[in-house]
Amino acid sequence: MKRFHWPLQRLFDVTVQRERALRQELLDLAREAATVRQRLLHRRVVLRMELDRLAEEQPSRRLARQELFMNCAAAAAAPLRALQAQWASLERRREEVMRRFVATRTSRQTLERRREEARQAHLREQDKLEQRQFDEGAHVAFARRVIRARVADAG
């Protein structure tokens, strides 16, 4: 039986590799975004805890410390905004990679389906050829038996 050869196999292989690479990139981006998000949340919690501590102090001491805290909080806001922007950027990149991943996965699935259809067509064609060979062999064998029988009857 002739081996199955699909002309688009190389394209399929490249598409599978691209899908794996995009999946890995998605995982990396998700991990990095989670790390940045965790750092952002941690900084916010630290600021909130400091503010809560200030709220528990006596009003006379709190006023002076609150002014200092507010000055420091303004300086701490810049890194928070930077982390927020970094996280938003990572999320946008992740969404873009996700779109590319879905398109690549759809392409792979389409190629997979077409390859299977081509393989099934190849198997049907090979079965037809094999059946033709069996039929031809049977006809030849029958013809030989008939010829032998005529030769035996004539002789």
Of the candidates 103, 95, 121, the residue with the CA atom closest to the CA atom of residue 5: 121
pLDDT tens by residue, 95-122: 999 999 999 999 999 999 999 999 999 9
- Has this prediction a pTM greater than 0.85? no
Of the candidates 85, 87, 77, the residue with the CA atom closest to the CA atom of residue 32: 87
**Residue 27 pLDDT level (bands cut at 50, 70, 90):** very high
pLDDT of 135 reads: 93
- Among 23-32, 68-77, 103-112, whose mean pLDDT is lowest? 68-77
Residue 63 has pLDDT above 80, yes or no: no
pLDDT tens by residue, 83-98: 999 999 999 999 999 9
User: Rg for the chain (alpha carbons), in Å?
Assistant: 37
pLDDT of 50 reads: 81
